[in-house]
Amino acid sequence: MKTILRYIAVAVLLMLVWAGVVFFGTVDGWFHQPIAQQNTTQSFLEAVDTEQKKQFVGNFALAVIDHGTVEKEKFYSAGKPVDRNTIFQVASLSKWVSAVGIMKLVEEGKLDLDAPVSKYLTRWKLPSSEFNNEEVTVRRLLSHTAGLTDGLGYSGFETGTPVQSIEQSLTKAADADKGISGEVRVGRKPGSEFKYSGGGYTLLQLLVEEVSGQSFAAYMKESIFTPLNMVHSSYEWNDSSDYQLAEFYNNDGSKATHHRYTSLAATSLYTSLADLELFFQAHLEGKSKEPVGRNVVKPETVEKMREPHGQSMGVDIWGLGTVLYATTDDNDFIIGHDGKSTPPINTAVRLNPETGDGIIILETGNPVLATNLASEWVFWKTGKVDTFLFPMLVNGMVQAIGIGWVTIVVATIALGIVGRLRTKHQ
């Protein structure tokens, strides 16, 4: 009996060690191959072509940026051609841009990052909860740590369907993604943990309107887009606009409709590749010594936005409106944001503030391609598995652990049988 227990103990120990090796190896990218075979942008773009041909893509616009300068752009369309000035609806990538506008109000002293948001709100209030709603602050809303449990996720309103007011949406979003209540309320202790909340950004949208006295779209245009020369960017879309809006597709290749949103700050920025290149460059010092922030926001504000606030499994993943994808060599972060919506819109930006390198991808008709390629760019460029690449590797990790465990169990049983046979013949 003691021998059997010893075999079991050794097997369990080996299984734990194997699981740890595979987990940490996955985190460090040991088992993942770079998407491109060579360390050149051309090689990466060839790999992008290969991946793009494997699945349906409606529209696609990509920019690779090297030391702050746009090195290559790439476009593809299944229908009307797109270019660097074509307008894309960018889903949750909107949040990062919205956050810059909010931080400008903080700079101007019109908002306090750590004051209760109730201090600024007159048109709507958070419903009563078992927690202290006064602990819901701008800082916590920006970093998804305010304790809101809405889980939004907005699907938008189809053409012809009335769009809710902000107040109605905050009370119960009629366009909440399937399976989500759509009610913006405090369901966990504010500041206790990270929990993604689209509703938090709709609340910030209302906050901006209350403080600025302008519509959210008008404030962002005047304070951020015009000073940065982002002439194709807006949180509102006029059907008579002279600009071309990228066509929408379902992932089966059929045409999809244009959805409208109440939740502008969270999910409804309209912008172009050219404008996002300018936004990207505003996070870096320019060649002619334009400062970080381009005099629209202060350099220290840009830096503050990538300070860690939200964690998952002990890993820093969120700043103030900014996703923290991976650490850099000097313990800064590769930053940006992704967007995903239905009908399929997928957008992604990765920016290394240390080197000025990065990638911007806008696409329609595919729910994950932009995110996959942007995360693959991080791994190809740095050898690091970013926040969004790791979940893509989980299935392979689980399979590797399972195969290892089966091997250990079979080997342990075989050794036990051999050991007993030897004992009998002695």
> In angstroms, rounded to a whole number, what is the distance separating the alpha carbons of residues 102 and 297?
10
Q: DSSP letters along 231-243, please? A: TT-BSS--TT-SS
Q: Is the pLDDT of residue 426 over 60?
A: no
Residue 196 shares a structural domain with residue 142? yes
Residue 59 shares a structural domain with residue 7? no
With respect to residue 206, please indicate whether it lies within any of the assigned structural domains.
yes
pLDDT score recorded for residue 409: 79
Confidence of residue 423 (pLDDT cuts 50, 70, 90): low
**Counting every residue, how long is the chain?**
426
pLDDT score recorded for residue 22: 80
Residue-wise burial string across 368-407, b where 16 or more C-beta atoms lie within 10 A, e elsewhere: bbbbbbbbbbbbbbbebbbbbbbebbeeebeebbeebbee
With respect to residue 196, please indicate whether it lies within any of the assigned structural domains.
yes
pLDDT score recorded for residue 267: 96
Number of helical (H) and strand (E) elements in the chain, helices listed first: 12, 10
Containing structural domain, residue 344: 41-384
pLDDT score recorded for residue 319: 97
Residue 47 shares a structural domain with residue 15? no
Residue 408 shares a structural domain with residue 270? no
Q: Could you tell me which of 401, 361, 158 has the C-alpha nearest to residue 276? A: 361
Q: Is the pLDDT of residue 7 over 80?
A: no
Residue 102 shares a structural domain with residue 170? yes
With respect to residue 155, please indicate whether it lies within any of the assigned structural domains.
yes
Residue 409 shares a structural domain with residue 374? no
Confidence of residue 314 (pLDDT cuts 50, 70, 90): confident
Structural contact between residues 65 and 359, judged by C-beta atoms closer than 8 angstroms: yes
**Could you give the C-alpha distances from 305 to 7, 102, 214, 295, 322, in angstroms and in order?**
53, 11, 24, 16, 6
- In sequence order, the 6+-apart residues with CB closer than 8 A to the CB of 344 are 58, 249, 250, 251, 256, 364, 365, 366, 367
> pTM of the predicted model, to two decimals?
0.93
What is the pLDDT of the chain when averaged over all its residues? Answer: 92
Q: Could you tell me which of 219, 202, 211, 214 has the C-alpha nearest to residue 106? A: 211
**Could you give the C-alpha distances from 357 to 66, 162, 265, 382, 416, in angstroms and in order?**
5, 42, 26, 11, 56
> In angstroms, rounded to a whole number, what is the distance separating the alpha carbons of residues 96 and 101?
9
pLDDT score recorded for residue 173: 96
Average pLDDT over residues 144-162: 93
With respect to residue 105, please indicate whether it lies within any of the assigned structural domains.
yes
**Could you give the C-alpha distances from 58 to 18, 118, 226, 236, 362, in angstroms and in order?**
42, 43, 30, 22, 11
pLDDT score recorded for residue 122: 96
End-to-end CA, the chain: 19
- Tens digit of pLDDT for each residue in 178-207? 889 899 999 999 999 999 999 999 999 999
Structural contact between residues 284 and 292, judged by C-beta atoms closer than 8 angstroms: yes
With respect to residue 279, please indicate whether it lies within any of the assigned structural domains.
yes
Q: How many independent structural domains does the chain possess?
A: 2
381 token code pair: 């460029």
Q: What percent of the chain has pLDDT over 70?
A: 97
88 token code pair: 């894309």
Residue 291 shares a structural domain with residue 401? no
Q: Phi/psi of residue 63, each to 5°? A: -130, 130
Residue 159 shares a structural domain with residue 203? yes
Residue 354 shares a structural domain with residue 284? yes
pLDDT score recorded for residue 240: 63
Domain of 94: which CATH number?
A: 3.40.710.10
Q: Is the pLDDT of residue 35 over 80?
A: yes
pLDDT score recorded for residue 329: 87
> In angstroms, rounded to a whole number, what is the distance separating the alpha carbons of residues 249 and 388?
24
Q: Phi/psi of residue 129, each to 5°? A: -145, 175
- Tens digit of pLDDT for each residue in 98-117? 999 999 999 999 999 999 99
Residue 215 shares a structural domain with residue 322? yes
> In angstroms, rounded to a whole number, what is the distance separating the alpha carbons of residues 329 and 337?
20
Residue 402 shares a structural domain with residue 380? no
Residue 398 shares a structural domain with residue 260? no
With respect to residue 365, please indicate whether it lies within any of the assigned structural domains.
yes
With respect to residue 49, please indicate whether it lies within any of the assigned structural domains.
yes
Confidence of residue 313 (pLDDT cuts 50, 70, 90): confident
Which long-range CB contacts under 8 A does 45-50 form with residues at least 24 apart? Answer: 45/72, 45/74, 47/376, 47/380, 48/74, 48/373
Q: What percent of the chain has pLDDT over 90?
A: 74
With respect to residue 34, please indicate whether it lies within any of the assigned structural domains.
no
